[in-house]
Amino acid sequence: MEEAPTLSITMLGAGQEVGRSCCVLQYRGRTVVCDAGIHPAYSGMASLPFIDYLDWSTVDALLITHFHLDHAAALTYITEKTNFRDGNGKVYMTHPTKAVHKFMMQDYVRMSSSSSHPLFSPLDMTMSMASIITVSVHELVTVCPGISFTPYHAGHVLGACMFLVDIYGLKILYTGDYSREDDRHLVKAELPPVQPDVLIVESTFGVHKLECRQDKEDRFTSLVHSTIRRNGHVLLPTFALGGAQELLLILDDYWKRHPDLHHVPIYYVSSLAKKSMAVYQTYIHSMNSTIRSRFAKRDNPFVFKHVSNAPQTRGWEQEIAYGPPCVVLASPGFMQAGPSRQILELWAPDSNNGVIITGYSIEGTLARDIMTEPEDFVSLKGVTISRKMSVDEVSFAAHVDYSQNADFIEQVKAKHVVLVHGARSEMGRLHSALTSRFKDRGDGVKIHAPKNLETLKLSFPRRKIAKVVGTLGTNPPQTSGVISGLLVSNGHSYTLVNSGDLRDFTGLPTSTVTQRQKMVLDVGWSLVKWHLEGMYGTVQEGYDEDGVPTIRVMDTVDVKHSGAHELTLEWASSSSNDMIADSTLALITSIAESPASVKLTTHPHSHSHNETDAGAHTHPTFGVISSDTRIQGLAMFLQAHFSNVELHVPDVSDEEPEQRGEDPYLLVQLDATQAQVNLITLTVHSSDEELQKRVEAVLDMAATTVNLLSESFVSRSSKMSSLETA
């Protein structure tokens, strides 16, 4: 069976921008949200995704790819300040991500508590943490019927993953931030073994090509070393977790190989410094083989020989600023506030000093502005500060460049690629480059770049496959054959079963509704049987388990003589059975007014059935017609089409044979003309040719209908096993 359901993708953040990542996937009544971050360039409510756009009680799963604030910091607000908890939504992230997320959010709450309108309280953060479900990489997680997902390594930072989401068989790969480059401690993003229908991928660096790893490290250490040689201080604004650990590994290794630098201290300035190191040492198994191998040899790579935490004394910033040369890694990486901003303001006027931007800088942040090398900038206190220190950029941001991104897209082989997490200009150039690349190859890949709140709708014609089980599956189907059963849907799997197998193969409870209708009996029981045979052909007559005379109609409806003047209709309710019961009820209620009934109940007679039968046969109730079910049906059919009719049954008391005749007949009266229908020979005689043709046409339909009923239902008598033959 073919169907074409629609996948809706709506960006509540990171649509043609970097920051507040939040992607909503809606398909066949299910909703999955990927990431819930803030925008570092804004504060308060303005930093959140466009959360009012979505009814959060409808969300089935909220998946967090990694712990960076622009991907996870809005989670607490969503779980504690929206109606998210009114539904059955669940929050998932990997074990390392949750461990680091806790520290990141504690620091974020502490930093934002000084603002006039903090987004949430420490208690809100604690409550939100309790609702997080941790998962392992490569673990298949079933959220609810129809939704499952599997995390895969994404590189980027410790614990980061991309999610392969399956919603009723439709597969969507959401990468989050990912890196395909081998670095000092992380495994690079892996290629999922399943081909998705849709790939939602970051576009942070657009069409740029990044330096190779070795050239980048060499240029970085060279800049650090040259600044120290000119008796300057080096500021490395970085995030407390992620990029900082990579830089520390590089610097510690470089210091080991350069004894002339051993007297130059490397400070790691962050309130999360000690906590972050503990987390990294806990999750060594999540890192690359080099780190795991060193750790196995009791050589802990995160116990640095040349790195120390910043002094804890008051005014340590002044001591460092005016002391001997040193290297300082300080958070946050965007330098909006905190230690990195304080140190920048102290060191900026000295041309011997230098700042090296090592991560991706979001538009609107000081880290992005300082890269233009302005002559001055405004401090947090509103004072203009002259900038004379050198500014350099060596990107260790663990994001893919154009070449890596395009190669990954080609290997994934999704027919729809959705670009997110990129500045509008960068994303636009990437969109054009990828469109041109795949158009030339004729792969049929479509590239999309939705803006925030712009819903992208993608249709996917799909084929439903049903598994035939139980008694229906005992005989293999033949070509062009027909299989009838109940189609049971469970998630995105379908099963075709016989109704009797429903409980055994689906676990669904079954029940039968038996309907009973009682009515007054105005005529004889035998007359009821005669009318039922005339309408339905052969019926089964017998007794039920209580000995009540019963007639079964079409192997469906039991007509019971339940009292002296009472009939009871009984049947198992269904759409088809109810229609048969309705027609049976209508027939029985019209018996008393039937012309045939009046004639049959007022003309007892004898009749010779055939020429060889010399004996007389007495019919006190029916006359000759009761012995021939076919004749009964024809008579009733004709009576239904002509209102003014008379049924003539021959009687031995008639003195004139020509009046008595040999066969029963029906006299049809229409205005001043009449037609006589022989119910044995099925011939019509009338002086009116038009009336004769009309009656012949009706008679022909009657004969065909009665014959079909007789052939169809005569075989049903063998199924009357629950009744005894009268």
Active site residues: 399
Q: What are 549-558's contacts with CB under 8 Å, separation 24+?
A: 549/525, 549/726, 550/723, 552/720, 552/723, 553/580, 553/584, 554/580, 554/713, 554/716, 555/713, 555/716, 555/719, 555/720, 556/580, 556/581, 557/581, 557/584
- C-alpha span between 538 and 103 (Å, rounded): 83
Contacts of 307 (CB under 8 A, 6+ apart): 248, 251, 252, 266, 267, 268
Q: Which two tokens stand for residue 243?
A: 């990029």
Class of residue 140 by CB neighbours under 10 A (exposed 0-12, middle 13-18, buried 19+): exposed
The CA–CA distances, whole Å, from 674 to 417, 649, 665, 692 equal 81, 17, 13, 9
Return the bridge partners of 515, or none.
Answer: 571
3-state secondary structure 25-58: EEECCEEEEECCCCCCCCCHHHHCCCHHHCCHHH
- For the chain, helix, strand, coil in percent to 5 are 35, 25, 40
Residue 64 per-residue DSSP state: -
CA-based nearest residue to 122, from 131, 109, 111: 109
- Cα angle, residue 456 at apex, residues 453 and 458 outer, rounded to 5°: 160
Residue 187 per-residue DSSP state: P
Strands 376-378 and 384-386: antiparallel
- Cα angle, residue 505 at apex, residues 504 and 506 outer, rounded to 5°: 105
CA-based nearest residue to 33, from 45, 22, 44, 18: 22
- C-alpha span between 408 and 359 (Å, rounded): 22
Cβ 205 vs Cβ 400: under 8 Å: yes
Q: What interhelical angle do 525-536 and 595-602 show, nearest 10? A: 140
Cβ 347 vs Cβ 26: under 8 Å: no
Sheet (strand 390-393) strand order: 307-309, 266-269, 327-330, 234-237, 354-357, 390-393
DSSP secondary structure letters along 542-562 = EE-TT--EEEEETTTEEEEEE
Cβ 32 vs Cβ 59: under 8 Å: yes
Q: Which two tokens stand for residue 492?
A: 């995105």
Please give the span between the terminal C-alpha atoms of the chain, in angstroms, as a whole number.
50
- C-alpha span between 318 and 330 (Å, rounded): 15
538's enclosing H/E stretch is none
**Residue type at position 76:** T
Q: Which two tokens stand for residue 636?
A: 């009733």
Q: Which two tokens stand for residue 177?
A: 């931030």
